Amino acid sequence: MKANTFDCIVIGAGHAGAEAAHAAARLGAKTLLLTMSRETIAMASCNPAIGGLGKGQIAREIDALGGLMGTATDSAGIQFRLLNRSKGPAVRSPRAQIDKYKYSEFIRQSLEATDGLTIIEATAAEILTEKNAVTGIRCADGSVYNCKALIITAGTFLRGVMHIGSEQSAGGRLGEPAANALSDSLKKLGLRVERLKTGTPARLDAETIDYDKTEIQLGDDEPYQFSFMNDEITQEQIPCWTTYTNEKIHKLLRDNLRQMPLYSGQIKTTGPRYCPSIETKIMRFADKGRHQVFLEPEDAQRKTIYCNGISTSAPRDIQEQMLKFLPGTENARIVHYAYAIEYDYCPAEQLKISLETKRIAGLFLAGQVNGTSGYEEAGAQGLLAGVNAARKIFGDEPLVLGRDQAYIGVMIDDLLTRPIDEPYRMFTSRAEYRLSLRSDNADRRLTPIGKSIGLVSDQRCRRFEIKTAQLERLYNYLKSERSKGKSLWQQLSQPENPLAGQLSQLPAIKAMSLSNEVIDAAVIDAKYAGYTKKQQRMVEKFRRMESHKLPLDLDYNEVAHLRAEAKEKLSAFTPATLGQAGRIGGITPADLMVIQIHLKKKFSM
């Protein structure tokens, strides 16, 4: 029995599960990671890339907290680009193509080297509970593992069904079975389970593509690393390519819409609006004569190519004809066909802010099971779920990140306060304090938090302390050194001032032996000091609202003068704070005032 008893068990070893298991074990919980296959741990089953707009910020936040995603990306990256480089630092986002096999191997080896973490290949089937608290998991082979906390990170495997034209097959992704019994177990425990849809494009044999008919896309000359533990990227970068659809492809798809599961009625669930299938694009944007397609290598050897931009569930013969019309892929061999996948998820209003379910104590959900889409969103939830599962086991308060602290906090708050009608994806536009939540300062925002709970390594702490000491020294110099009647700090804040590009060449700064990272951080801080000061006042107002805690057992039906719509929504979402209540759609300032009056009367009696 002792051999099968753990503090924490994580079900699923995708990006959420890997971060969850690593975080829980790092905090001292004896942890078991259950996966159908070690070989597919943290596999990039869709786009072979990490980062992007909003997502790059999340990936760096995971790294700043001591997670695995950043170091794995730097190790397995094959092309790095900083998106929105010409725009302000608030919306600059790192993105990297990765060798998906090296990435998976890096994560697997990191997990295998983590003290207190055991990995077992098995298929989870039934969540075991007693008195509305989790006690363990029963696997399909009959084996039972006991635990105090259980984290479900099953991705698209919960009753997953794949579609290629009229063909349907059960599975979590190509070649792997669905987790139907686990989905049934969630329903039996009283959790509401609904359906979403996503999709993936065809993969092609890289040697069969005519690249002369495409446009080459190179990475940055100076790659922007994901991990704060690395100073530079040294491996060779390889190119991607772009091509475009055309009217022949569009006509082919329009003429065969009746064979598309999305339009035949075979698929009834909602897919991601921001990443639509090619058949959806041609219908939604009928006036566009072409759509861009990115041909992205899936590995450093360039054996297979991911066709980013033509996700589809079309029948195999239609996919073959479409590729024959696409410049560069006329004679390409399909390694595996595109498909759409429908899967179960649990709407996140059933969760506490710690990602623990309200109904079952000790049961946590993270990743696509909460209605999100993307490796970064999944990894961030996994990390927080792992941290909070461990903290619950040891009797500590959960770690909660606010909207003013991290994109991770924005995402979790959005999930808890806004109904999901499509897979949730992070964008910089979702963060009202994005000027403060930059990718460059993720470590300054979050590494001290990670240190305070024991999540980050001693090595990371030492590196962070050195960086902050260097920044302090540079700040002092910039604010005290004057020329042309102004301090260097003031000059850096002026628009179009050339000093920013010359700073690293100043003799006094050269003598400090500072990294480019430190110099860039100081330049950004000086340039936006006035704006961030204004934003800080907004943050302080936000925090005052967040400090008004709401009892989770508050019966909103008993709140006098509260509107019926407000009672219904607040009862469904059960917000943790007054501020969170105000972010629920349809809740007005008047509703918040009524709640405050009710609580004041109740607790003064």
Q: Are 406 and 437 in contact (CB under 8 A)?
A: yes
Segment among 145-154, 463-472, 537-546 with least mean pLDDT = 537-546
Q: Indicate if 479 and 590 belong to the same structural domain.
A: no
Residue 71 structure tokens: 């170091």
What is the Cα–Cα distance from 366 to 411, expressed in whole angstroms?
A: 12
Residue 171 lies in a domain: no
Domain, as residue range, for 308: 203-341
Residue 353 structure tokens: 């802010």
**Model confidence pLDDT, tens digit, residues 288-315:** 999 999 999 999 998 999 999 999 999 9
Average of pLDDT values for 142-155?
97
pLDDT at res. 2: 66
**Model confidence pLDDT, tens digit, residues 253-290:** 999 999 999 889 899 887 777 788 999 999 999 999 99
**Model confidence pLDDT, tens digit, residues 23-74:** 999 999 999 999 999 999 999 999 999 999 999 999 999 999 999 999 999 9
pLDDT at res. 346: 97
Residue 510 structure tokens: 């050269």
Residue 273 sits in a domain of what CATH number?
2.40.30.260
Residue 252 lies in a domain: yes
Pairing mode of beta strands 31-35, 304-308? unpaired
Average of pLDDT values for 577-590?
87
Looking at 341, 373, 401, which one is the last position of a domain?
341
Percent share of the chain, pLDDT over 70: 99
In angstroms, the Cα distances linking 412 to 175, 366, 385, 396, 601 are: 32, 10, 11, 20, 31
Number of structural domains, the chain? Answer: 3
Q: Indicate if 465 and 578 belong to the same structural domain.
A: no
pLDDT at res. 552: 82
Q: Which of 293, 302, 240 is nearest to 99 (CA)?
A: 302
Q: Which of 230, 216, 255 is nearest to 463 (CA)?
A: 230
Asked whether the predicted pLDDT for residue 605 surpasses 50, the reply is: no
Looking at 320, 341, 362, which one is the last position of a domain?
341
Q: Indicate if 270 and 315 belong to the same structural domain.
A: yes
Q: Which of 476, 530, 528, 483 is nearest to 502 (CA)?
A: 483
Stretch (H or E) spanning 134: strand 133-139
Residue 581 sits in a domain of what CATH number?
1.10.150.570
Task: Return phi, psi of residue 339, to 5°.
Answer: -155, 160
Q: Indicate if 525 and 572 belong to the same structural domain.
A: no
Q: Indicate if 230 and 325 belong to the same structural domain.
A: yes
Q: Indicate if 514 and 553 belong to the same structural domain.
A: no
**Model confidence pLDDT, tens digit, residues 97-126:** 999 999 999 999 999 999 999 999 999 999
Average of pLDDT values for 143-157?
97
Chain CA centroid to CA 331, Å: 36
What is the Cα–Cα distance from 132 to 221, expressed in whole angstroms?
A: 55
Residue 243 lies in a domain: yes
Q: Are 164 and 350 in contact (CB under 8 A)?
A: no
Q: How far apart are the first and last CA of the chain?
A: 51
Residue 478 lies in a domain: yes
Q: Which residues contact 533 (CB under 8 A, 6 or more apart)?
A: none
Percent share of the chain, pLDDT over 90: 79
What is the Cα–Cα distance from 215 to 232, expressed in whole angstroms?
A: 27
Q: Indicate if 527 and 553 belong to the same structural domain.
A: no
Dihedral over alpha carbons 408, 413, 418, 424 (to 10 degrees): 10
CA atoms within a 13 Å half-sphere pointing along the CA-CB vector of 63: 27
Q: Indicate if 237 and 292 belong to the same structural domain.
A: yes
Global pTM reads: 0.93
pLDDT at res. 63: 98
What is the Cα–Cα distance from 602 to 109, expressed in whole angstroms?
A: 55
Task: Return phi, psi of residue 513, to 5°.
Answer: 55, 50
Stretch (H or E) spanning 96: strand 93-98
What is the Cα–Cα distance from 311 to 291, expressed in whole angstroms?
A: 12
Residue 278 lies in a domain: yes
Task: Return phi, psi of residue 356, to 5°.
Answer: -85, 140
Handedness of CA 244, 249, 254, 256 (dihedral sign): negative
Q: Indicate if 316 and 216 belong to the same structural domain.
A: yes
Q: Indicate if 288 and 320 belong to the same structural domain.
A: yes
Q: Are 18 and 266 in contact (CB under 8 A)?
A: no
What is the Cα–Cα distance from 186 to 192, expressed in whole angstroms?
A: 8
**Model confidence pLDDT, tens digit, residues 442-468:** 999 999 999 999 999 999 999 999 999
pLDDT at res. 32: 98
Q: Are 82 and 93 in contact (CB under 8 A)?
A: yes
Residue 134 lies in a domain: no
Residue 78 lies in a domain: no
Residue 192 lies in a domain: no
Q: Indicate if 523 and 556 belong to the same structural domain.
A: no
96: left (phi over 0), alpha (psi -120 to 50) or beta: beta
Q: Indicate if 462 and 554 belong to the same structural domain.
A: no
Looking at 341, 368, 390, which one is the last position of a domain?
341
Provide the pLDDT confidence category of residue 1 given band limits of 50, 70 and 90. Answer: low
Mean predicted lDDT score pLDDT of the chain: 94
In angstroms, the Cα distances linking 270 to 186, 309, 417, 602 are: 21, 18, 19, 43
